């Protein structure tokens, strides 16, 4: 259960390649091809579902009941879609995924038409974008998607000009990531959620392949394509999956415990608590491997673990992540946090199931259930002196 060393050059290269490949929910084929190519280079067996979700498999020694585990991460990102071709030659857009127009203002974008060779660049601007024209009104304009428009880098002045360019309602508008890695290891980029998670998972898989030792349990890496719109891990796994660990961003903000340079373990998100036993097993792996970690609770957040359980998968779930400051905005993380997330994954994937004998089967007898010894609860007192 010792963590494995991570190839940091590989981690950095994969992260930048993923960030520079647009993949808003609904238009993810290109980034999934990159993920698949990287796994193929490592000799990892994989399959894709009809919709394009990728499941890679790392064989293990196996258990009598055939139980397996899964690590789930998403390759789709937030983005926009063309809602209306405006008479002034600009584009009205709506968000793909949940994010504020406040952080889209000023973003450089790429507009993808149905003609794959016909791309256009532009900028998201507030309707009042010139201080020299609107003066102080620029500071009082409201925030919202109806308050912004996309200015294309084309000589367009009318709706017809946009049509002549081949732009249509429903075209995807990707927010350019513009990634930067500072000399001291900070990563500034849009879409770190969750491409830094994908990079961590691929780096962990590489470490496991390079190590070459057998694993106690077969593990699946599920890379989903609809998490930002709520339909991430809805399919792609089977009833043999006993444990699922979602890898996603951890919220770094006022009132949160998560940090950019550690691995962070979610205890609860907007859908409720994660599995008591699996979560504490991950904490134990951090402690035994001297991995800096933080425990945290996320109120307005959910991950791929939620749709997996909602779709009927009966398994333990947990959430780990790299810290992201200004998530779904001007995001930043640190390479140390991404690396440590990968290190925890290697320790987890080389360890047995939380309760090897019990978790190997989907059901069992009450007498065999690992309850009192691992999650005790003292009974309430029979009477309360002084209550009345």
Maximum CA extent, the chain:
82
Element (H, E) at 195: helix 192-211
Burial 26-46 (b: 16+ CB within 10 A, else e): bbbeebbebbbebbeeeebee
Residue 79, beta-bridge partner list: 96
E-assigned strand segments in the chain: 45-48, 54-58, 68-74, 79-85, 91-96, 108-112, 119-126, 148-152, 172-175, 180-181, 186-188, 219-224, 241-252, 263-269, 272-273, 293-297, 316-325, 332-334
Q: How many other CB atoms are there within 10 angstroms of residue 211's CB atom?
A: 13
Q: Is 193 annotated as a binding residue?
A: yes
Query: How far apart, in whole angstroms, are the C-alpha atoms of residue 79 and residue 56?
Result: 26
Query: How far apart, in whole angstroms, are the C-alpha atoms of residue 107 and residue 336?
Result: 27
Is 92 catalytic? The answer is no
Q: Is 210 annotated as a binding residue?
A: no
Element (H, E) at 13: helix 8-19
Whether the Cβ atoms of residue 57 and residue 219 lie closer than 8 Å to each other = yes
Which one of 149, 227, 260, 331 is the catalytic residue?
227
Q: Is 330 annotated as a binding residue?
A: no
What are the tokens at 60? Answer: 């293990």
Query: How far apart, in whole angstroms, are the C-alpha atoms of residue 149 and residue 154?
Result: 14
Query: How far apart, in whole angstroms, are the C-alpha atoms of residue 319 and residue 301?
Result: 11
Q: Is 248 annotated as a binding residue?
A: yes
Query: How far apart, in whole angstroms, are the C-alpha atoms of residue 54 and residue 200?
Result: 16
Instruction: For residue 189, give the nearest of 328, 94, 300 by alpha carbon.
Output: 328
| Annotated binding-site ranges | 74, 193, 228, 248
Catalytic residue annotation? 227
| Annotated binding-site ranges for Zn(2+) | 74, 193, 228, 248
């Amino acid at each position: 259960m010792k963590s494995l060393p991570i190839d940091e050059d590989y981690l950095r290269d994969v992260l930048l390649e993923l960030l520079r490949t647009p993949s808003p929910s609904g238009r993810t084929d290109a980034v999934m091809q990159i993920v698949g190519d990287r796994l193929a280079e490592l000799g990892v067996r994989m399959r894709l579902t009809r919709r394009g979700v990728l499941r890679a498999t790392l064989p293990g020694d196996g258990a009598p009941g055939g139980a397996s585990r899964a690590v789930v991460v998403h390759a789709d990102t937030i983005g926009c879609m063309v809602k209306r071709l405006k008479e002034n030659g600009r584009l009205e857009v709506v968000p793909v995924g949940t994010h504020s127009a406040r952080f889209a203002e000023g973003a450089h974008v790429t507009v993808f038409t149905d003609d794959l060779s016909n791309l256009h660049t532009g900028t998201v601007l507030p309707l009042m974008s010139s201080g020299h024209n609107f003066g102080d009104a620029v500071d009082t304009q409201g925030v919202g998607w109806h308050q912004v428009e996309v200015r294309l880098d084309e000589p367009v002045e009318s709706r017809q000009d946009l049509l002549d360019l081949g732009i249509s309602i429903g075209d995807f508008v990707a927010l350019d990531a513009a990634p930067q890695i500072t000399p001291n290891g900070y990563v500034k980029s849009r879409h770190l959620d969750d491409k830094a998670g994908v990079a961590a998972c691929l780096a962990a898989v590489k470490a496991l392949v390079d190590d070459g030792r057998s694993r106690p349990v077969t593990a699946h890496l599920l890379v989903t394509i609809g998490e930002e719109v709520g339909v991430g891990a809805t399919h792609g796994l089977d009833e043999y999956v006993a444990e699922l660990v979602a890898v996603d961003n951890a919220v770094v903000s006022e009132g949160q415990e998560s940090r950019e340079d550690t691995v962070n373990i979610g205890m609860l998100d907007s859908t409720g608590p994660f599995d008591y036993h699996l979560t504490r097993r991950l904490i134990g792996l951090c402690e035994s491997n001297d991995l800096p970690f933080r425990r945290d609770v996320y109120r307005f957040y959910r991950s791929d673990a939620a749709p997996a359980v909602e779709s009927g998968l009966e398994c333990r779930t947990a959430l780990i992540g790299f810290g992201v400051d200004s998530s779904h905005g001007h995001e930043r993380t640190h390479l140390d946090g991404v690396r440590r997330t990968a290190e925890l994954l290697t320790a987890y994937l080389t360890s047995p199931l939380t309760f090897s004998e019990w978790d190997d089967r989907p059901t069992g007898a009450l007498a065999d259930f690992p309850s009192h010894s691992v999650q005790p609860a003292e009974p309430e007192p029979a009477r309360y002196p002084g209550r009345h």
